[in-house]
Amino acid sequence: MKALGIDIGGTGIKGAPVDLDTGELLAERFRVDTPRPATPENVTKKIIEIVEHFQWKGVVGCGFPTPFYQGKCKVGSNLHDDWIGVHVEQLFSKATGLPFKVINDADAAGLAEMNFGAGKDKPGVVAVITLGTGIGSGLFLDGKLIPNTEFGHLRYKNKPFEKYAADSVRIAEELSYKKWGKRLNKYFNRVELIISPDFIIIGGSPSKNLNKFSRHLKSNAQILPAENKNEAGIIGAALATRSLL
């Protein structure tokens, strides 16, 4: 089985067909810039462009940077406030004539890791934490996704933790990995207090440099680097279409 996976980000929108049995991309991924402003109308045009690029006629999975409630965006995220209340699956399906499954982007990355990465066959509670512009989270219990967690929005010093410990903050404040690691340790301690995970999988670009800050992370959970890197969002989005097949 195969599906087209699309990963919508704040700066770019990427897509590729995916083999659902192996997680392999079946063609070179195609990327377009996220439009500005990133309104529903403008982003939908980019989705159509990706679908047409692959001449795709089957099911499509999409990772989207916002939590959902009954299929509708709860917030505008880093795209545009016009997304609030929009049923994204219906919007994209109507525009392309294809069946769509849309999930939170961090949940998509988590699905990739649980099926074809560091989380494969891991029992118990697994938290997949993506560190980038913000902090995304995917939560799994015995391999089953618990959707729409927003652990990056846990509060610290009267603001979301992602404003204190995201990778973008490390870069902007020119933090050493030691100082940043100590901030992350506070964050992971909070996550551990809430959900007591057995495993924490770190995704995003910092997963490649885990050895530079892992010694500053004091957790009862086993901490692992993600394995799917830049393709995780595409792979996980495609995997989400299994409910349509």
Q: What is the pLDDT of residues 185-219, one digit of tens each?
A: 999 999 999 999 999 999 999 999 999 999 999 99
- Which residues of the chain register pLDDT less than 50? none
C-alpha distances in Å from residue 39, one per residue of 1, 83, 174: 32, 7, 32
Residue span(s) of the chain under CATH 3.30.420.40 come to: 2-104+231-244, 118-227
CATH level 3 topology of 2-104+231-244: Nucleotidyltransferase; domain 5 (3.30.420)
Check: CB of residue 101 under 8 Å from CB of residue 88: no
Structure tokens at 27: 């063609």
Structure token pair of residue 137? 């989270």
Q: For position 76, what pLDDT does the model report?
A: 65
The closest alpha carbon to 206, from 184, 188, 186, belongs to: 184
Please give the pLDDT value at position 230: 82
The C-alpha atoms of residue 91 and residue 46 are separated, in whole angstroms, by: 13
Are the CB atoms for 66 and 153 separated by under 8 Å? no
pLDDT given at position 88: 97
β-pair type (100-104, 125-131): unpaired
118-227 CATH: 3.30.420.40
| pTM (2 d.p.) | 0.93
Rounded distance, CA 173 to CA 187, Å?
17
Taking phi over 0 as left and psi of -120 to 50 as alpha, with beta for the rest, 158 belongs to: left
Q: What pLDDT, on a 0 to 100 scale, did the predictor assign at position 78?
A: 77
